[in-house]
Amino acid sequence: MLKSLKAFTLAEVMVTLAVLGVLASLMLPIIGQVRPNKSKALFKKAYFVAERMVYEMVNDEDLYPNTGTFVGFDNVSEVTYLSHDYGHKTDNTKRNSKFCEIFARKVNTTSDTTHCDAAHAAFGATPSFETTDGVAWYMPFSNFSTTPQIIRVDVNGSNPPNCRQTAGNATSCKNPDRFEIKVEKDGKIFVDGMKEIEYLQSNDSLR
């Protein structure tokens, strides 16, 4: 006598798939919320790097001596740092590139070549330099006679989406990779962009 073979019916398979589909639709949003936001984490890292470098530079009397007339980064007189001269008494190109050049010497860049000039200070151009974590830095080209000046960072280099969130593009740029950090001549740094504020106020690296 042949034994009858037991198997799932088509109806049972369909019910099982439907249940799995419902569970997946419930779980995916939760998983998405706990997945690390890489851009957020990299921006927070870049901000803290900028904060540390600015603090070190503005408080270094050998780089930016306080003369009474000048109180920080507006002192663009010539100094020597790591056997290189930065700043100048009269050469505006050297004066305006002093902050960028010294900052670049203090961080881990992917190349010894920096682009500290007006043509590389804005998003869309070749960055002033890139750091070894893949962040592209667009540094101010300025003598800091007016402040604040802006450090711009693209946390994933040339990779998309290549956008910074503003009031006008909050829908099309939900997960930005470009951010702005503002620097006063006395060394104070701050942000005033929507995502920049949101990310820095968060206590973790998640969405």
Question: Is residue 78 a contact partner of residue 88, using CB atoms and an 8 Å limit?
Answer: yes
- Over the stretch 84-117, which tens digit does the pLDDT of each residue have? 999 999 999 999 999 999 999 999 999 999 999 9
Q: Residue 28: what pLDDT?
A: 64
Q: Residue 207: what pLDDT?
A: 41
Closest CA to 193 of 154, 166, 175, 158: 166
Look up the pTM and report it. Answer: 0.81
- Over the stretch 5-54, which tens digit does the pLDDT of each residue have? 566 677 776 777 777 777 777 766 654 555 568 999 999 999 999 999 99
- Over the stretch 186-203, which tens digit does the pLDDT of each residue have? 999 999 999 999 999 987
Q: Where are the domains of the chain?
A: 38-201
